[in-house]
Structure 1
């Protein structure tokens, strides 16, 4: 089986009205959406305001239904309007205070070349289990796989999971698994704390799978504190706390008899860093890059220019998996290779850095585990 880590670089849904393929209609939708949002905030829905609300809702396709192609009407408490089967639609709220709700833009998977290249990386790596970093939500990730990674209507990854983490921007970690590797358990560590407070910037999401041979494998997907934001010393302390806690979670799994454990994701520091030492040096986990048969393509890094200082992504294997490891590699075809994109072979569709599938390479391990 093949296990991979891939930072998909901000895989978000986007308002359907913003899609360049529907921009002619989308431009008018945005103007209407802006106007109806202003109207709905009126203290009193006078007859003139009510008529205009109905007119704008009609333009959005929401006069007779709460859901339309480009927008959705949320009526959470109370009612904005009444729809009669054989009568007129009318505004029943007297003003903003009479109901709780709003109009929101419908979101969908982004239809852009960069996303096609993100999917192409996943197809070409062809892993059975993928630890995904920087996905907005399960819905976004499932739409992405359903749009880009399905053959004849059958998804390459029928098992898709993302657990909401602590990052308010919605940059979460999740997992994809192929048929034959069902997700049989999950556990979030978003609320794990130490003496300094909450530990994880996002989560250490714990996923359990059953292999075709009936074995259990646990995958801990991580996205440690970034090096690029905030004072270095403070960021380093947070990453070290995160490494300490992941090591504790790993040891706990081992004590309960779970022998096949993978710790994967974007740990945002190098193998020789003091911040990752509790995980990389103080446990018996080993990164696939240290094992026989690993091909780094002549560069040890996984991010940006992929130098040694940019080795940020990991697939750490427990001893039971190390014993059956058969190699692995770094897949860079979806990463723009340096300033001019020529540091390594890239997809022919990538003629600019904006076309890159991600700024991170995919990293994978092959293990002989039935």
Structure 2
């Protein structure tokens, strides 16, 4: 049986900025325009710095704790940043590096995208960021036009192969709750409908196919095991279209949270791994891990060991926790 481990992690503002202390603007412009090789990302990396050395070190430690075959990341600025993060920070703690990477620029105006690091070969990648409500035949939420793009960032479709087995990932980062959870719900619900539509278009039989929709969905359908009905994740859950790995594999509802919202004291599961029914049926005893050692001290529900240097608010690995599952394909 082929096994594969998959992690989703919102890295929180994994960005790069030019180190102007060592590079003048004319020198930098000349250097970048002269780069012609396929190794462009590594060369540009030399004159840029990943923001917040302490945070990025903790981010790398949190992600490396999973040692997953495939890491699906949110809030990464671009492929240069992803490469720099891997080479400068993450690789120090890895038993084996990630040779395959995928990131396609999405729709977020701040430039934060979804990306993939993989030890398994990436055989196909496709961005769906440009698809509109009209493309899906959907009525847009109030205030939006049919020609507006559905995804706030992207839904990055990536197919990977391991030992002759195939797995398709739909990597997501939905609209945040900024502006109010109720007010922004229709946008997330539309994104969820669109992802479901993409899966249905991709597979003639969505029940038996090997696929996962995962990422930061910025919404939860329960709080500590108590169902809430004002979420936008219905399209994933209706008709048993998919199975949420957190609720499926973690018996203790108090141990499903992946994010702490300090303003309201809410421990919520904003990050999800939605499994196809076939994958869920094949993995009823799968191991699920939520790595909280990089959470700030103020998230005091977690009482376990933390990485050295974690502060009360900062430094921290992220405001999210890496969530991992090991599956039989």
Tell me whether the two structures share a fold, i.e. TM-score over 0.5.
Answer: yes
- Identify if the C-alpha distance between structure 1 residues 107 and 235 changes in structure 2 by more than 3 Å, giving closer, same or farther: same
RMSD: 3.0
Q: Given that residues 297 and 311 in structure 2 are in contact (C-alpha distance below 8 angstroms), is that contact kept between their aligned partners in structure 1?
A: no
- Identify if the C-alpha distance between structure 1 residues 309 and 113 changes in structure 2 by more than 3 Å, giving closer, same or farther: closer
For 1:251 and 1:204, how far apart are their aligned partners in 2? 14
2:199 partner SS: helix
The count of residues paired between Structure 1 and Structure 2 equals: 292
Q: Given that residues 15 and 77 in structure 2 are in contact (C-alpha distance below 8 angstroms), is that contact kept between their aligned partners in structure 1?
A: yes
1:113 partner SS: helix
- Identify if the C-alpha distance between structure 1 residues 338 and 367 changes in structure 2 by more than 3 Å, giving closer, same or farther: same
1:281 partner SS: helix
Which residue does the alignment assign to 1:93?
none
- TM-score under structure 2 length normalisation: 0.79
- Measured after TM superposition, the shift of residue 299 of structure 1 is 2.7
**Higher-RCO chain (CA-CA 8 Å, sequence separation at least 6):** 2
- Identify if the C-alpha distance between structure 1 residues 186 and 352 changes in structure 2 by more than 3 Å, giving closer, same or farther: same
Which residue does the alignment assign to 2:187?
238
For 1:297 and 1:329, how far apart are their aligned partners in 2? 14
**2:41 equivalent to 1:4:** no
Which residue does the alignment assign to 2:232?
275
Matches within 5 A, 1:242-261: 242-255=191-204, 259-261=209-211
- Identify if the C-alpha distance between structure 1 residues 274 and 256 changes in structure 2 by more than 3 Å, giving closer, same or farther: same
- TM-score under structure 1 length normalisation: 0.71
For 2:293 and 2:253, how far apart are their aligned partners in 1? 11
2:11 partner SS: strand
Which residue does the alignment assign to 1:220?
170
Which residue does the alignment assign to 1:192?
131
Pick the structure with greater CA Rg: 1
Structure 2 residue ranges without an equivalent (≥5): 35-45, 134-138, 141-147, 222-227
Which residue does the alignment assign to 1:208?
159
Q: Given that residues 305 and 337 in structure 1 are in contact (C-alpha distance below 8 angstroms), is that contact kept between their aligned partners in structure 2?
A: no
Q: Given that residues 170 and 214 in structure 2 are in contact (C-alpha distance below 8 angstroms), is that contact kept between their aligned partners in structure 1?
A: yes
- Measured after TM superposition, the shift of residue 361 of structure 1 is 0.6
Q: Deviations over 1:255-292 (max 9, x none)?
A: 17781101100101112444111112344211111224
**2:321 equivalent to 1:353:** no
- Identify if the C-alpha distance between structure 1 residues 115 and 208 changes in structure 2 by more than 3 Å, giving closer, same or farther: same
For 1:140 and 1:217, how far apart are their aligned partners in 2? 26
Structure 1 residue ranges without an equivalent (≥5): 18-25, 34-56, 75-104
2:260 partner SS: coil
For 1:151 and 1:231, how far apart are their aligned partners in 2? 40
- Identify if the C-alpha distance between structure 1 residues 106 and 147 changes in structure 2 by more than 3 Å, giving closer, same or farther: closer
For 1:6 and 1:131, how far apart are their aligned partners in 2? 6
- Identify if the C-alpha distance between structure 1 residues 282 and 166 changes in structure 2 by more than 3 Å, giving closer, same or farther: farther
**2:86 equivalent to 1:145:** yes
